[in-house]
């Protein structure tokens, strides 16, 4: 190091600080390292030309990774060679990985220690003990799997406005809601000009001593939704359903009974207090009840004419009676495929077959012949039979002929069967029994069958 240059450097620095060189030296200025000497020379000469060549190259901008590393090493070496060392008092940051519980404990410890210092209390203080070890709660709320084992705080009941008025605020269930509706019932379907439902049901209401009304409301399929809104809005308690709405109505009800489900048709609906619709099929009940108790068809074969909605209900009732085989006779076999697939799947213990109705020649193997077609109904081929007379003559003398048509009260089929000395069951009995079942659903009571049948016969 050039002493002359060093003195000149001290003089310039002292001048800048406004003190003398002696005062600057008295402050304990340390000897300058190589880099400081370079700074002194640079500041005095005002240019880097006085810097030795070997030092100047160490500060050139590195162009490659190797050059950069070499430069870094040179600077580090110069620093280590200097007498300036890092202060031993500098705190280096330390990073400690802690669990959440450890952090909480540490924070609680700091809070308590601070409190201790402030209060000048003794060192006999207990650590924070309310914090429990971290756990995983396995209790499940009762509304998911069952009763919960979790203890809930008992809270005092809140004083409500109603309580302040001494009003009973106990929960009111749906069963406690009073039903103020009138006993209004109806029949929907289209067309309904031939219906005897109002006559039969009115006689049933009277036999029960119930003040009720029954209306005939013609409802084409396109008006079904509006009709249902009308019935709910005007507080009807129930209604019956006939063709062609027995299947479409099932799309708008809230619940169906087993017979409506099996028969895939609805003929009776109850409108509940909350205006929900419960649907039933009383055709199945009516068909079965109309069969006299002394008519035994269990384990026997039955022939059913037709594969429509009435045939569905008859099939379910016959299965309940324990028949061994049901043979369907239809004019359109392709359309009966769905029915055959359905009943074979639902009732595997019963044998089902389907035949062309025009090919009927011999019915001797069947204990019962059931007509579910509209042939013979008043206004629909009322003077015809669904089978030829010679086929009817092949029935066994103990066989039963059952026609679900109730108007007229005796169809041509029934009249011809009576002439042959065969036992008959008319559709009127089935119709009245299904009305009886409907009122049992609506009122929970059984109306008088005889009164209802007398009223029906007076109006046929």
Beta-strand relationship, 277-280 and 268-271 = antiparallel
DSSP state of 171: -
Spatial distance between the Cα atoms of 166 and 62, rounded to a whole number of angstroms? 92
**Which DSSP string do the residues of 298-363 spell out, in sequence order?**
TTSEEEEE--SHHHHHHHHHHHHTT-SEEEEEES-TGGGHHHHHHHHHH-TTSEEEEEEGGG----
Spatial distance between the Cα atoms of 424 and 410, rounded to a whole number of angstroms? 10
- Is residue 309 within 8 A of residue 376, CB to CB? The reply is no
- Is residue 286 within 8 A of residue 430, CB to CB? The reply is yes
Scanning 146-191, the segments in alpha helix (DSSP H) are 161-164
DSSP state of 355: E
Q: At what angle do helices 309-320 and 337-346 cross, to 10 degrees?
A: 20
For residue 405, the surrounding DSSP H or E stretch is none
CA angle 438, 439, 443 (to 5 degrees): 130
Nearest to 373 by CA among 316, 434, 308: 308
Spatial distance between the Cα atoms of 395 and 385, rounded to a whole number of angstroms? 15
246 tagged catalytic:
yes
- Is residue 339 within 8 A of residue 262, CB to CB? The reply is no
- Is residue 220 within 8 A of residue 242, CB to CB? The reply is no
Instruction: Given the residues 12, 15, 229, 246, select the one marked as catalytic.
Output: 246
**Residue 43 in 3-state DSSP?**
helix
Spatial distance between the Cα atoms of 273 and 180, rounded to a whole number of angstroms? 9
**Residue 104 in 3-state DSSP?**
helix
Spatial distance between the Cα atoms of 9 and 177, rounded to a whole number of angstroms? 106
- Is residue 396 within 8 A of residue 428, CB to CB? The reply is no
**Residue 180 in 3-state DSSP?**
coil
For 21, the token pair is: 């060189």
Residue count (the chain)? 460
Which residues have a Cβ under 8 Å from the Cβ of 435 and sit 6 or more positions away? 197, 200, 201, 204, 240, 282, 286, 447, 452
Place of tokens 């002696």: 22
Supply the residues annotated as catalytic: 246
């Amino acid at each position: 190091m050039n002493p002359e240059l060093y003195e000149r450097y001290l003089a310039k620095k002292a001048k800048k600080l406004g003190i003398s060189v002696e005062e600057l030296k008295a402050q304990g200025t340390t000897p300058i390292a190589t880099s400081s000497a370079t700074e002194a020379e640079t500041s005095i000469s005002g240019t880097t030309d006085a810097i030795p060549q070997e030092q100047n190259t160490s500060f050139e901008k590195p162009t490659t990774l190797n050059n950069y590393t070499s430069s870094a090493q040179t600077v580090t070496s110069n620093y280590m060679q200097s007498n300036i060392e890092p202060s031993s008092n500098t705190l280096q940051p330390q990073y400690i990985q802690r669990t959440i519980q450890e952090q909480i404990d540490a924070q609680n410890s700091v809070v308590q220690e601070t409190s201790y210092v402030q209060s000048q209390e003794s060192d006999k203080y207990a650590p924070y003990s309310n914090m429990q070890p971290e756990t995983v709660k396995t209790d499940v709320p009762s509304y998911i799997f069952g009763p919960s084992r979790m203890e809930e705080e008992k809270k005092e009941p809140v004083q409500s406005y109603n309580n302040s008025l001494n009003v009973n605020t106990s929960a009111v269930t749906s069963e406690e809601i009073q039903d103020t509706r009138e006993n209004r019932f109806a029949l929907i379907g289209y067309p309904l000009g031939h219906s005897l439902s109002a006559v039969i049901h009115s006689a049933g209401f009277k036999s029960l001593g119930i003040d009720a009304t029954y209306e005939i409301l013609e409802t084409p399929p396109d008006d079904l939704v509006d009709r249902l809104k009308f019935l709910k809005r005007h507080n009807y308690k129930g209604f019956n359903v006939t063709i062609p709405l027995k299947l479409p109505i099932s799309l708008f009800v809230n619940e169906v009974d087993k017979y409506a489900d099996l028969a895939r048709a609805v003929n009776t609906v109850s409108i509940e207090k909350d205006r929900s619709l419960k649907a039933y099929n009383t055709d199945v009940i009516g068909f079965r009840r109309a069969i006299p108790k002394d008519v035994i068809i269990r384990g026997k074969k039955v022939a059913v004419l037709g594969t429509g909605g009435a045939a569905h209900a008859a099939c379910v009732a016959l299965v309940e009676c324990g028949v061994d085989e049901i043979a369907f006779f239809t004019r359109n076999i392709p359309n009966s495929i769905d029915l055959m697939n359905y009943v074979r799947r639902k009732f595997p213990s019963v044998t089902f077959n389907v035949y062309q109705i025009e090919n009927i020649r011999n019915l001797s193997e069947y204990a019962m012949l059931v007509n579910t077609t509209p042939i013979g109904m008043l206004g629909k081929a009322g003077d015809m039979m669904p089978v030829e007379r010679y086929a009817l003559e092949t029935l066994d003398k103990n066989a039963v002929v059952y026609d679900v048509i109730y108007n007229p009260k005796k169809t041509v089929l029934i009249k011809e069967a009576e002439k042959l000395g065969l036992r008959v069951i008319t559709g009127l009995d089935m119709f009245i029994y299904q009305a009886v079942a409907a009122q049992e659903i609506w009122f929970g009571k059984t109306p008088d069958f005889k009164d209802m049948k007398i009223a029906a016969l007076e109006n046929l």
